[in-house]
Amino acid sequence: MTDCFYHYTDAQTALKILTKKELWMTHTSFLNDTQEGKELRIYLNKALLNPEICKILDYIDSNFESYICSFSKNGDLLSQWRGYCPDGEGYSIGFHQPKSFKTLLNPEGEACFRGEEKPNVDSSHATWHVSNYEKCIYLDEEKEKICESLVQDMENSYANMPDNIRKIVSELPKTPQELKDLYNYLSNVNVWFKLYIYYSCLFKDESFQEEDEYRLFITFNNRYKQEPCYRVKKGIFIPYHRFCFEDKLFKEIIVRKTSHDEFADKGLRHYLKHHKKMTNEQIDIFIKPSGIPFRG
């Protein structure tokens, strides 16, 4: 298993992450990549011959929402500094892999997912999620191989589907009373919710391959209550959930080369000493300067 995962950001956001110990997981429809969440379906549509299976996928697409937080395996990459940090600043925060998540069954986990923050309320969400940082899938050959397996499993599942469930599928996109039966049936077959949603969140256009992106994501069924947070960017309300964790998930931070990187290092050291109570020896290990001689 890989050891450290990096999140590139500006100084203001880095300060919030270090202080609040949380990262924001953005709804897939509001990410920068216009094809986000659509790549898998494009590949599947080329291979699927049964229109009833397409109805099932339409049902899943319209009734589930996913939220993603992105990381890179490379903590000092020029394209990442340029793409995710404004000119003249940049921090690449390195994280360990979470060992356990707080859920209803495990209230002592070191990380959890939360929606809108409310006073005196622990708003941890128990929902379907991946418990590791998962690597994005870029190459056509790998995507085609995965889709070939998915299509076969979907066709087998449909062939073995009980008559009452097939009847519900035939009536989609209407929402008959028995829709709960469809949900329960699909929940018990891995290929539908688990694998289809999993790969939908990980398929990424090959042009982004250099980023070597890993992802943490959560998925909600619209039938269940969720209380997302909202931020505003360029006049748009953007929904997100919070990935909250303990200090021990921080491993290191890489400081970008800039015209004032000495002051950036000095200010960060001051913060770590007084806010995180780190010793000078610990700070020397925690902070690393970028090795790229480009003063952006």
Residue-wise pLDDT for 216-241, tens only, equals 999 988 877 788 999 999 999 999 99
Rounded CA separation 153/230 (Å) = 37
Q: Which residues contact 187 (CB under 8 A, 6 or more apart)?
A: 193
219 SS3 class = strand
Residue-wise pLDDT for 250-280, tens only, equals 999 999 999 898 999 999 999 999 999 999 9
pLDDT tops 70 at residue 127: no
Residue for token digits 């995965």?
A: 146
Six token digits for residue 253: 């931070």
37: left (phi over 0), alpha (psi -120 to 50) or beta: left
For position 114, what pLDDT does the model report? 87
Rounded CA separation 137/208 (Å) = 10
* H helical segments located in 77-224: 78-84, 140-159, 163-171, 179-187, 197-202
Closest alpha carbon to 60 in 186, 174, 152:
186
Angle, CA 89 vertex, CA 112 and CA 19 arms, to 5°: 30
Rounded CA separation 27/278 (Å) = 35
Is the Cβ–Cβ distance between 12 and 112 less than 8 Å?
Answer: no
**What pTM, to 2 d.p., does this model score?**
0.90
Q: Per mean pLDDT, which of 58-62, 64-68, 269-273 is the most reliable? A: 269-273
Closest alpha carbon to 28 in 281, 204, 267, 179:
204
Rounded CA separation 72/211 (Å) = 6
Closest alpha carbon to 40 in 19, 24, 20, 60:
60
Rounded CA separation 4/121 (Å) = 32
Q: With pLDDT > 70 as the criterion, what percentage of the chain qualifies?
A: 96
Give the largest Cα separation in the chain, rounded: 69
Rounded CA separation 163/14 (Å) = 54
Task: Tell me which amino acid residue 27 is.
Answer: H
pLDDT tops 50 at residue 1: no
